[in-house]
Amino acid sequence: MFNRDSILSFLDNAFQRIDMPCFGNVNIDYVSSRLLAYRSTDQWLLLFNSVVWWPAAKGLMTIVEIVGTGVVGRQGFDNDRAFVPGCIELDDEENIVSILVRGEDIDPSALAIQPDYDVQPEYGFWASVALVEKYKENLLASQAEIQQFIPPGFQHLLTVDEWEHPTWAMPPSQTVSFPCIADVLVTSDPSLWIPVEVPNTHWSHWLSK
């Protein structure tokens, strides 16, 4: 079995090993994320579903990172947990050639793209931000894509889009959110979740880097 302290200790260690998302990652910009909590009779796991801008890979991507005692396979990120839900094609001058989301053509003129190159120098990132504003649900990993990573017998307890995410100076156990999530996991009672007054999951909290 598990208890609040064992969950928080596990998460602190996982964050130190970068087995949890590090929103300050210098190579990947987390545009928008969702956290889901699951448990079985004697195990638990947290799943982070994130839309990212990853220039060294495919640009606009979705990555799923999982941490907990019930994880099958590698903790955190693994290659089979990365998806390409869309494509932002730019020319050499960073003008948009085309945008696709789940195979659907998106008209760039319908997006409110507002680059601030002092904050982030890549136009593709700002296009991703604007896409998330209108197409977040399509860009996040779908239920079918997520379900393959959840072992049989696990109950979904909680889904949140805003929380207090850890930093190197503030591990999960010292945040407001993760002790609360631990209580939800131990009791199987999602009503114990209390939204934080000042969440830091929005991309603007992590840029400039």
pTM score:
0.97
Phi, psi for 6 (deg, rounded to 5)? -70, -35
User: In the structure encoding, which two tokens stand for residue 115, read together?
Assistant: 């680059």
Asked if pLDDT for residue 77 goes beyond 90, the answer is yes
CB 47 within 8 A of CB 35: yes
Q: What does the mean pLDDT of the chain come to?
A: 96
The pLDDT tens digits of the residues spanning 86-144 come to 999 999 888 899 999 999 999 999 999 999 999 999 999 999 999 999 999 999 999 99
CB 134 within 8 A of CB 142: no
Residue 126 CA neighbour count, 13 Å, CB half? 17
Residues in the chain: 209
Rg from Cα positions in the chain? 17
